[in-house]
Amino acid sequence: MTLRDARLGVKHRPMTGKSLTILGIETSCDETAAAVVRGRAPGPGEILSNIVFSQTEAHAPYGGVVPEIASRAHLEILDNIIGRALDEARVSMAELDGIAATAGPGLIGGVMVGLTTGKALALGAGKPLVAVNHLMGHALTARLTDGVEFPFLLLLVSGGHCQLVGVGGPDDFRLYGSTIDDAVGEAFDKTAKILGLPYPGGPAVEEAAKSGNAKAYELPRPLLNRRETGNGADFSFSGLKTAVRQIAQKDVNVPDASASFQAAVIDILCDRSRTAMDMFRRDFRSGNSFVVAGGVAANQAIGAALVKLCKAQGFVIHVPPPRLCTDNAAMIAWAGVERLSHHAGGDALSTSPRARWPLAERK
């Protein structure tokens, strides 16, 4: 692709039948990340480098991510992170087939930093730019790691997202359910704060729950066994979080409260996933893969419950390694591989960053 083509966002033929080397950039929240991935769809691919700088220490005093701090940190260190990723992969800009950068959804300041950097690199090197939906990166990670074939059912559980999606291809995402209030990871973080546990809250609640009694407190399971709401498999965690706050106003046993909260979350996730499995079978004649992605996928108790559910429902579960469940740039680079393998070239350099970008909405 020429520099003129890059400026104009000219579309090119799909790069099918060849292995692609893609630089990925991820800055949608509080991880500054760059990676180089090589492969072709359906995978597995090869991760040549995957550099992630976490800002957890900077945000810990506030009990959550502060957007201004996050975007400033991205701006200060992204160039260095990209340089390290290229050096570790032993790949030059000239050897790349494209630049993939998260274009949303996420904290808009951070998304702007990463996408603008990706545009500059694509223009300067004369490479296609792939503006990646962050959620698509999570969705396709199991193809990078395990070569999971389409179609598959995706449970995306993270700090900002909680969705069940039927994935029929790189352009085929069918939303079966999403949260109508808090995401599950957000509920973990808020519960940790209520109980006086450290940030990030997910690992802290999981650790405390190991020594707790999951039946000590009777907590609600919002929308359990309900099929008529929204998309049919929607989630709600706000009422559960409120119930934890109410019991915390009295003398509360933190391990017991953590275990009771985690048990309620597991019941909700399994119930909603079971409903989505029925919807998936309705929409697709083949496929029995159940992919779990996002940071909450690292929770072992949740994982064990989902393994049991899949066995009962005739699904095969796929969970990427923990380092690829949390935000990273390898998943963004792989989404670039998928897009350039199946579609006509990259995206226009006029592509705008987006704070909100539903997965089912490709553009």
pLDDT of residue 5: 44
pLDDT of residue 10: 42
CA 351 vs CA 8, 21, 104, 127: distances in Å: 11, 22, 11, 15
Upstream peptide bond of 203 is cis (omega within 30 degrees of 0):
no
pLDDT of residue 98: 97
Q: How far is the C-alpha of 308 from the C-alpha of 310, rounded, in Å?
A: 6
The pairs formed by 58-66 with CB atoms below 8 angstroms and a separation of 24 or more are 58/30, 59/30, 59/199, 60/198, 60/199, 63/189, 63/193, 63/199, 64/189, 64/199, 65/29, 65/30, 65/107
Exposure of 289 by Cβ count < 10 A (0-12 exposed, 13-18 middle, 19+ buried)? buried
Tokens 């991935």 label which residue?
37
pLDDT of residue 199: 84
Q: CATH class for domain 150-286?
A: alpha beta
User: For the chain, which residues score pLDDT lower than 50?
Assistant: 1-13
- C-alpha torsion angle, residues 203, 205, 208, 210 (rounded to 10): -80
Q: How far is the C-alpha of 249 from the C-alpha of 348, rounded, in Å?
A: 53
Q: CATH class for domain 3-140+325-342?
A: alpha beta
Tokens of 280: 């998936």
pLDDT of residue 170: 86
Listed by start position, the domains of the chain span: 3-140+325-342, 150-286
Residues 6+ apart with CB under 8 A from 135: 105, 156, 161, 163, 357, 359
pLDDT of residue 228: 56
pLDDT of residue 363: 52
Output the pTM of the full model.
0.88
pLDDT of residue 202: 92
